[in-house]
Amino acid sequence: MVKISSKRKESKRVHIISRRDGWAIKKEGKTRASKIYNNKNSAVSSARKLKEKGLDVIVHKKDGSIQKWEKSKKQK
Amino acid sequence: MNTNNDFSKNVFINCPFDDQYIPLLKSILFTIIYLGFTPRIALERFDSGEARINKIIDLIKASKFSIHDLSRIKASKKSEYFRLNMSFELGVDIGCRIFKDGQAKDKKCLILEKERYRYQKALSDLSNSDIKSHDNEPEEVIRQIRDWFVVNELERADSGTIIWDSFNKFMADFYLKREKEGFQEKDIQRMPIPEFIRFINEWIIERRNN
């Protein structure tokens, strides 16, 4: 099995990912999701606060593809 | 990187190729490569002069593992025909294991369906077979494939959740890279499967080396 490295530099992206039991907020580089929400809107609203801290918020569709990519307010 | 010549690493994928199925196919391809295997699929090469059945037989003979998805064999609307290719190719694969000698005896297959037991109405010969359902969810198909490889070949592997999260991250990197290269949304959605497979391989190698 391929071992994916976890030693990459600190990522500035957070993902909203579908889960069996809801929608997860998962920061890149972390092993576990920070929180699971019952619905997607709640997860997106909560994750948007992280844009202030310099994180891009990537909202995924249920199939894993990209629905929306919200850029951080600190970058650029 | 595995080559197409390694029987013990090849995984034949027998599934529909319509637009509705492509998201599931992408997650299947990613999981196979993530776990260190090589997906083999009729779409991997395109030669109008090559008879499709010959290509399928070559892929089946070259692959120790196979994944057959029967979730689309039922017609989805009135006047539409049954789709028989998937069950036909499953039969060829099982026949190869039974009638061919040598390494073909080691072949293993995973049969997937949308819902448990639905296939029995059309394919009762499989009534006592262990068939897994994915409910048309890429997250679930990843989990089923991962578990099947762990039971049949691998001693251990990352959890289904870790692989699913990696797939989502991969899709973000894929989207970003293609967008920077000037690809439009529809180009990204309809990318030829061999190109998509190459991108997965490059992404996996990049992460392994970092």
3-state secondary structure of B76: coil
Interval A3-51: pLDDT, tens? 554 444 557 899 999 999 899 999 998 888 889 999 999 999 999 999 8
Going by C-alpha positions, the residue among B147, B125, B134 that lies closest to residue B71 is: B134
CA atoms within 13 A on the CB side of B58: 13
Cα Rg of chain B, angstroms: 17
Q: B189: domain CATH number?
A: 3.40.50
Rounded distance between C-alpha atoms, residue B125 and residue B91, angstroms: 11
Residue B90 inside a domain? The answer is yes
Question: Is the CB of A64 inside 8 Å of chain B's CB atoms?
Answer: yes
For residue A9, the model assigns a pLDDT of 53
| pLDDT of B118 | 67
β-bridge partners, A22:
A19
Nearest residue to B107 via CA among B150, B62, B57, B147: B62
State how far the Cα of B168 lies from the Cα of B55, in Å rounded to an integer: 32
Question: Which pLDDT band, with edges at 50, 70 and 90, does B64 fall under?
Answer: very high
pTM: 0.90
| Contact at CB, A31 and B162, closer than 8 angstroms | yes
Say what the pLDDT of residue A6 is. 47
Tokens of A61: 């569709």
Mean pLDDT score across all residues of chain B: 88
Edge-to-edge order in the sheet of strand B38-40: B38-40, B10-14, B65-69, B108-113, B131-133
Token pair in block for residue B11: 């995984």
Shortest CA gap A7–chain B (Å): 7
* More confident of the two residues A2 and A23: A23
Indicate whether B15 belongs to any domain: yes
B69 domain residue, yes or no: yes
> What crossing angle do the helices spanning B22-34 and B138-152 adopt, rounded to 10°?
30
3-state secondary structure of B163: helix
Query: Is A68 in the B-facing interface, judged by CB distances under 8 Å?
Result: no
Confidence at residue A7, expressed as pLDDT on a 0 to 100 scale: 47
Domain membership flag for residue B40: yes
- Residue among A7, A64, A69 minimizing CB distance to B167: A64
pLDDT at B158 over 70: yes
Number of domains in chain B: 1
- Average pLDDT (B196-200) is 95
Distance (Å, whole) CA B142 – CA A68? 23
Is the model's pLDDT at B157 over the cut of 50? yes
Question: In this complex, do B208 and A18 lie within 8 Å of one another by their Cβ atoms?
Answer: no
Confidence of residue B46 (pLDDT cuts 50, 70, 90): confident
| Structural domain boundaries, residue B38 | 7-209
pLDDT at A2 over 70: no
Q: What value does the mean pLDDT take over residues B150-169?
A: 95
CA of A8, closest CA in chain B: separation in Å?
7
Determine the residue of chain B that is closest to A19 in CA distance.
Answer: B139
Min mean pLDDT across A40-49, B42-51, B148-157 is at B42-51
| Between B18 and A13, the higher pLDDT residue | A13
| pLDDT per position as a tens digit, B88-108 | 999 999 999 999 988 999 999
Is the pLDDT assigned to residue B9 strictly greater than 60?
yes
pLDDT attached to residue B201: 96
Greater confidence (A58 vs A33) lies with: A58
B1 within a domain of the structure (yes/no): no
